[in-house]
Amino acid sequence: MINLYAIVQRDLAKDLIFEIDDEIVTLSIKGVMIARTDSKSYNFSFVEITETEFVLALQMKGYIIYLGLESDEEIDEDAYPELVRALIQQLIPVLNNLIQEAEKSGYKGKADLLMDDNMSPDMKEFFYEMLIRHKKNLPHYEQVDVA
């Protein structure tokens, strides 16, 4: 478990700078959580917490990595696809390394918060709700719109 914290502190406790729609956007990683899942498929979710806070959840190899992100300014919803694509491209190698270390070290937890770097109350609420859902084996996604 110590190695997971070390990877997060070394590789994810930083600001990410992107050019989205010809504007420079700075995103700070404020929170990281790892959770086990029964699915080995690849998937992602992007959840808007506030106008400047988001959570990107990437599912890979039986794990879901939740990344709490805070932007220095409001991002237009039309830019989300480009932003998510840029985030995934930049973060996949680090997240793959994190998952490999979890597998190598025999991570047995259901879910653990690996970083909480001054998250806002709204983001903390999201992370702790997800943490509880994973630990109690409750569904971690809620469908709010009719499919």
Beta bridge partners, 139, equal none
* Residue 54 tokens, joined: 């988001």
pLDDT at 1: 77
pLDDT at 104: 94
pLDDT at 2: 84
pLDDT tens column, 50-109: 999 999 999 999 999 999 999 998 988 888 899 999 999 999 999 999 999 999 998 989
- The fraction of the chain above a pLDDT of 90, given in percent, is 71
Cβ-contact 100, 14 below 8 angstroms: no
* Residue 88 tokens, joined: 């995934």
3-state secondary structure of 111: strand
Tell me how many helices (H) and strands (E) the chain has. Answer: 3, 6
In terms of pLDDT, which residue wins out, 21 or 91? Answer: 91
Please provide the DSSP assignment of 34-51 as one string: EEE-S--S-EEEEEE-SS
The overall average pLDDT reported for the chain is: 90
pLDDT at 142: 56
pLDDT at 145: 47
**What is the C-alpha separation between 85 and 90, in angstroms, rounded?**
9
pLDDT at 101: 95
Query: Within a 10 A sphere around the Cβ of 115, how many other Cβ atoms?
Result: 19
* Residue 4 tokens, joined: 């997971």
pLDDT at 135 over 70: yes
How does residue 141 score in pLDDT terms, banded at 50, 70 and 90?
Answer: low
What 3 state SS string does 89-104 have? HHHHHHHHHHHHHHHH
* Residue 78 tokens, joined: 């039309």
In terms of pLDDT, which residue wins out, 1 or 89? Answer: 89
pTM of the prediction?
0.91
